Amino acid sequence: MTALWTSGEIVAATGGTLHGDPFEVSGVTFDSREVEHDWLFVAMPGTVADGHDFVPKAFAAGAAAALVAKPVEGPHVLVADVPKALTDLAIEARRRMSGKVLGVTGSVGKTSTKEALYVALERFAKGKVHRSVKSYNNHTGVPLSLARMPRDSEFAVLEMGMNRAGEIAALTRLVRPHVAMITTIASAHIEYLGSMEAIADAKSEIFEGLEPEGIAIIPEDTPYRDRLVKTARRFADRTITFGHGDADVAAIHAVRADKGGSLVTARLMESELTYTIAQRGDHWVTNSLAVLAAVEAVGADLAIAGLALADMGGLKGRGERHRLAIDGGNFMLIDESYNANPASMAATLKALGEERDVVRRIAVLGPMRELGGHADELHAGLAPAVREARVDHLILVGEEMRPLEDALNGAVAVERAANVDEATELLAGLVRPGDAVLVKASNSIGLAKLVERMAGGTEMAFADKGPRT
């Protein structure tokens, strides 16, 4: 197997100096908990902890070497500035890769769409597709994802995120995508950007890094469509829209599939395709159209992409479904705990409302963050989606959710929880066979812990609760 990096290549890329014997590495990480045999550990500085303190742990876990700003015991490359050195590695990784690079951003669905695009391309070019690490999409995560990219990759799918204007511009110039996609525009990060127009402008920065003859992929179903297209045309050789109606890649027909998900017939740039999506919800129909637009843009096989979408499983924290045993039967737990904003809340509540063959619909909802002065209004604005989803019981976590309770005005049975532990206990006492339970909040709320306790410790969670009425 070809090494991901040799010590000589790391030295050449970073301008550092080698200490110890020459080495080769097969992976890169800045998290000592992720270290595998023959990996490079990057000792990033931090406000809470310094990565240099974890170098011994990394070597104990099998690291071949470390990238450091001060001498350590064991093979290492010494540099003046570790974050800059990681960026230098990223630049070199991008330079030596001759395949097609696809960049993904958006207010909602960028990680899910990135993963769907990955599986579509991976089935076409097995073992030759690289993607972003987890949801590492910021000023450290993107360089790490690039530094992990094998030199012989035929495709790379890289996610870019932001909190403020200018951040995606810096990332996209590092990624240099051949295809740049915006999934959607929503009110995430409005606390820092102030308006929806500013959010659209910040997301459209992704087009600034496009390679010559680059392609921009833009959502049709947004009020900011023309604004995005106008910016894209400054940098892109071609612009493709996806969605409904007059979109270049559009859903002609979409119905609920027999086993969940959707059966879709789509009009593409040069053909039509009928395919099944395993994931449930109208938002996944739209995600799939973006994926197919990108697959067609890079010349990959659309039929194979359709098969991959049909087989794609749920993503942890982004729609993964757990069928959990309980006295007298089981219930469905839908894990949407990773993140939340008004658009994604509405979309997942709608999907909950479309669940068939359920006794009751229960939603455990926590706050949406980074909404600034709009927070109360936007939380209260979820009330119509809750009512339309026919939610029978609602567990609201934290004081920030009180505007939603007030807006519902008794239309739904509400339980309040001060924290995740209380929400877990409330849910364990409430749920009964045949229920469908949606769990969703911004990641910082920690509702993933509720999912872990319910899905991983079901016997403990439901012990001695007795019959449920």
Question: Cβ(242)–Cβ(293) under 8 Å?
Answer: yes
Q: State the Cα–Cα distance between residues 120 and 117, nearest whole angstrom.
A: 5
Q: Has 107 been labeled as part of a binding site? A: yes
Q: Has 187 been labeled as part of a binding site? A: no
Q: What are phi and psi for residue 436, nearest 5 degrees?
A: -115, 125
DSSP string, 403-430: HHHHHHTTSSEEEEESSHHHHHHHHHHH
Q: Which two tokens stand for residue 469?
A: 């009425």
3-state DSSP assignment of residue 351 = helix
Amino acid at 262: S
Q: Has 313 been labeled as part of a binding site? A: no
Alpha helix positions (H), 78-195? 82-96, 110-124, 141-147, 167-175, 190-193
> In whole angstroms, how far apart are CA 305 and each of 35, 238, 268, 301, 314?
32, 22, 13, 6, 17
Neighbour-count burial of 335, counting CB atoms closer than 10 A to its CB (0-12 exposed, 13-18 middle, 19+ buried): buried
- Among 204, 197, 198, 155, residue whose Cα is nearest residue 180: 204
Q: Has 47 been labeled as part of a binding site? A: no
Q: Has 466 been labeled as part of a binding site? A: no
Q: State the Cα–Cα distance between residues 28 and 460, nearest whole angstrom.
A: 38
> In whole angstroms, how far apart are CA 197 and each of 57, 92, 190, 218, 242?
46, 35, 10, 15, 20
Mark residue 130 as left, alpha or beta (left: phi above 0; alpha: psi -120 to 50; beta: remaining).
beta
Binding positions for ATP are: 106-112
Binding positions are: 106-112
